[in-house]
Amino acid sequence: MRPPVPIISVIIPVFNHAHWVVEAVRSVLAQSFSDWELLIIDDASSDQSYALLQSLQQESNDSRLQLFQHTENQGAACTLNEAMQLAQGSYFAILNSDDVWHPDRLATLYAKAEQDKLDFVAGAVQLQEEQPHTAEAQAWLDWYARMQRHYVQDQDFLTSLLRGNFLIGTSNFFFHRRVFEQLGGFSDLRYVHDYEYLLRLCRADFRLHCLWAFPGLKYRWHDSNTIREKPRLALHENIQLFIDYLPLMAEWLNQQRLAALHEHLSDLLAYHETEWRTEIHARLLTKEQELFPLIVDRDAWIKERDTLIQQQQQWLADRDAWIQERDTVISQQQQWIKDRDAWIQERDVAIQQLQDLSALQQSWITERDHWIADRDHWLAERDGLIAVQQAQLTERDHWLADKEHYISCLIRERDALQQSRAYRLGRALLKPLRLSRDFLVRNKWRINHA
C-alpha cells in the first residue's frame, strides 16, 4: 500500500554543521503538527554531520525522516532545489541545519496559510548567540527591530522587503507547493538566493504574510554563518541582485517603495564601510602578529646594544686617558709650531723678495716676447713679399725668353724672305710706286703747310 502524501515537506540542507544539526532535526521531530515528511540532504560535509544524522535516524526510528548524501558539494541552492523535487507535501518548509524551530511553528504557519489562503508565510526571528552578546549582534537586533516597526507601519510586504531581507534566511520559508511549481527553484547564488526568491514571489503576485507576533524561529549567530563568511562578497551579490532587478521592478516602485529601497541601499553602503573598516582592522591585527616576533628580536638587539654601549663607555674612559697624553704631546708640538712659524715667516720674506724679482723678470720676458713676435711678423711679411717678387721675376724671365725666341724666329724668317728672289723681284717692281708715293707725301706736306 502506498504511504499517504504528507501535508508538509520539511527540508534541511546540511553542510559542516555537526555542532548544531542534531538540535535542528530534533526541533522538527518535536513539532506539535505531525503530518510531515523530513528530507535531509548532506551536501558532502567534511565533518561528522552525516554520521550524527545516521545515528539520529536509527535512534528515532521515524519513517518520516529521509536521509540523503552528496558525494560532492553542490551548494545550498542546488541542494534545496533537489529536495523540493523530491518533496511530496502540499507545503514546503525549510530549516537550515544550524537553526531551531519553535515546537508550534508548523502548526501555526499552516493554520495561518489555510485560514487566509496565503501562498507564503513567515514568522518572527529570535537571535540565538553562540558567544556572549557582542556589539555586532546588538547592531543586528537594532536593525531587526527597525524592520519590524516598518512592517507594521508600511502594511506592505514588498515595501518592507525592499528595506531589507527581514525574513533573515530560508529557515523562515513556509510556502505552498504551487509557488515552486510556478517559480521553480532557487537561483544559484551563494548569499542572497533567499532574497532573490522572495523578490520573484512578490513579482508573481503571490500572497505573502509575516506573523511578527509569533517568534517561531531561533536564528543561530556564529562565526561560520554563510552570510558572515565573506561579508563584502555577500554585499556585492546583494547589490548586483538589485542592479538585475531594478528594470523589472519599475512598475512596482511607488514613492513609498522607492523610499524603502533608498533606505536599504543606504544600509548596504554603511555596512560596506563597516566591513571595510573591519577588514582593515583584521589586516592590522595580522600585521601586528607578524610584528611581535620582530619586537622580540628588537628587544634582544637592544640588550646586545646596551652591552656594546657599556663596552664603548670603557673604551671612552681609555680614550680620555689617551687624549690627556695626547694633549701633553700637543703642548710640546705647539712650542715646536711657534718656532716653525718664525722660520716660516723668515722664509716667506725671502720668498716674497724672490717673487718680486721673478715678477720683474717676467715683465722683461713678456716685453721681449712681444718684440720677438713683432719681428717674426715683419720677417714673415718680408719673406712673403720676397716670394711674390721672386715669382714675378721668374714669370718675367719666362715671358722675356718667350719673346726673344719669337723675335729670333721673326728675324730669321725676315732674313730668309729678304734673301729670296721673289722678294727682290717684287721690291724692284714696286720701287717706282714707292718713289711716287714718297713724292706725293712730300708735296702734300708742303701744300698743307702753305
Buried b (16+ CB within 10 A) or exposed e, 277-314: eeeeeeeeeeeeeeeeeeeeeeeeeeeeeeeeeeeeee
For residue 401, being part of any structural domain is answered with no
| Residue 327: φ, ψ to 5° | -60, -40
For 19-24, what is the mean pLDDT?
95
End-to-end alpha-carbon separation of the chain, Å? 189
Strand order in the sheet with 65-69: 65-69, 36-42, 8-14, 91-94, 174-176, 120-123, 208-211
Q: What is the pLDDT of residue 9?
A: 98
User: Do 151 and 88 belong together in one domain?
Assistant: yes
CA 249 vs. chain centroid, Å, equals 36
Q: What is the pLDDT of residue 229?
A: 55
Residue 446 pLDDT exceeds 90: no
Q: What is the pLDDT of residue 41?
A: 97
Dihedral sign computed on CA atoms, order 228, 232, 234, 238: positive
User: 41 forms bridges with which residues in the sheet?
Assistant: 13, 68
Copy the grid coordinates of residue 229.
563568511
For residue 223, being part of any structural domain is answered with yes
Q: What is the pLDDT of residue 1?
A: 43
Separation CA 73–CA 51 (nearest Å): 17
Residue 443 pLDDT exceeds 60: yes
User: Do 53 and 136 belong together in one domain?
Assistant: yes
User: Do 221 and 275 belong together in one domain?
Assistant: no
User: Do 45 and 129 belong together in one domain?
Assistant: yes
User: Do 160 and 197 belong together in one domain?
Assistant: yes
For residue 343, being part of any structural domain is answered with no
User: Do 45 and 151 belong together in one domain?
Assistant: yes
Separation CA 89–CA 35 (nearest Å): 9
Residue 67 pLDDT exceeds 90: yes
Summarised one tens digit per residue, pLDDT across range 339-379 is: 899 988 999 998 999 998 888 989 888 889 888 888 989 88
* Exposure on the CB side of residue 445, measured as CA atoms within 13 A: 6
Separation CA 163–CA 151 (nearest Å): 9
Residue 283 pLDDT exceeds 80: no
Summarised one tens digit per residue, pLDDT across range 325-341 is: 898 888 888 998 898 99
User: Do 220 and 258 belong together in one domain?
Assistant: no
Residue 225 binned pLDDT confidence (cut-offs 50, 70, 90): low
Residue 277 binned pLDDT confidence (cut-offs 50, 70, 90): low
Q: Which domain holds residue 299?
A: 254-331
Q: What is the pLDDT of residue 18?
A: 94
Boundary of a domain, candidates 308, 331, 354: 331
For residue 336, being part of any structural domain is answered with no
Residue entry with cell 561560520:
224
Q: CATH number for the domain including 72?
A: 3.90.550.10
Q: What is the pLDDT of residue 280?
A: 58
Residue 273 pLDDT exceeds 80: no
Boundary of a domain, candidates 331, 354, 384: 331
Distances in Å between the Cα of 185 and the Cα atoms of 5, 178, 286, 288, 396 are: 21, 12, 41, 46, 128
Burial-class residue 174 by CB neighbours within 10 Å (0-12, 13-18, 19+): buried
User: Do 65 and 114 belong together in one domain?
Assistant: yes
User: Do 81 and 192 belong together in one domain?
Assistant: yes
For residue 138, being part of any structural domain is answered with yes
Residue 324 pLDDT exceeds 80: yes
Burial-class residue 391 by CB neighbours within 10 Å (0-12, 13-18, 19+): exposed
Q: What is the pLDDT of residue 117?
A: 97
Q: Are 72 and 44 in contact (CB under 8 A)?
A: yes
Which one-letter amino acid corresponds to residue 273? Answer: E
Q: What is the pLDDT of residue 331?
A: 87
Give me the percent of the chain exceeding a pLDDT of 70: 90
- Using only the alpha carbons of the chain, give its radius of gyration: 63
Separation CA 254–CA 354 (nearest Å): 111
Residue 228 pLDDT exceeds 60: no
Summarised one tens digit per residue, pLDDT across range 144-189 is: 999 999 888 888 898 888 888 899 899 999 999 999 999 999 999 8
For the chain, the domain total comes to 2
Separation CA 30–CA 24 (nearest Å): 10
Top pLDDT among 429 and 65 is at 65
For residue 58, being part of any structural domain is answered with yes
Helix (H, G, I), strand (E, B) or coil at 419: coil
Q: How many CB atoms lie within 10 A of CB 407?
A: 10
User: Do 201 and 271 belong together in one domain?
Assistant: no
Q: Are 272 and 231 in contact (CB under 8 A)?
A: no
Boundary of a domain, candidates 331, 359, 389: 331
User: Do 212 and 270 belong together in one domain?
Assistant: no
Separation CA 189–CA 186 (nearest Å): 8
- Most confident stretch, 259-273, 341-355, 407-421: 341-355
Separation CA 137–CA 142 (nearest Å): 9
For residue 103, being part of any structural domain is answered with yes
For residue 286, being part of any structural domain is answered with yes
Q: What is the pLDDT of residue 322?
A: 87
**Mean pLDDT, the chain, integer:** 87
Summarised one tens digit per residue, pLDDT across range 49-63 is: 999 999 999 999 999
Residue entry with cell 620582530:
294
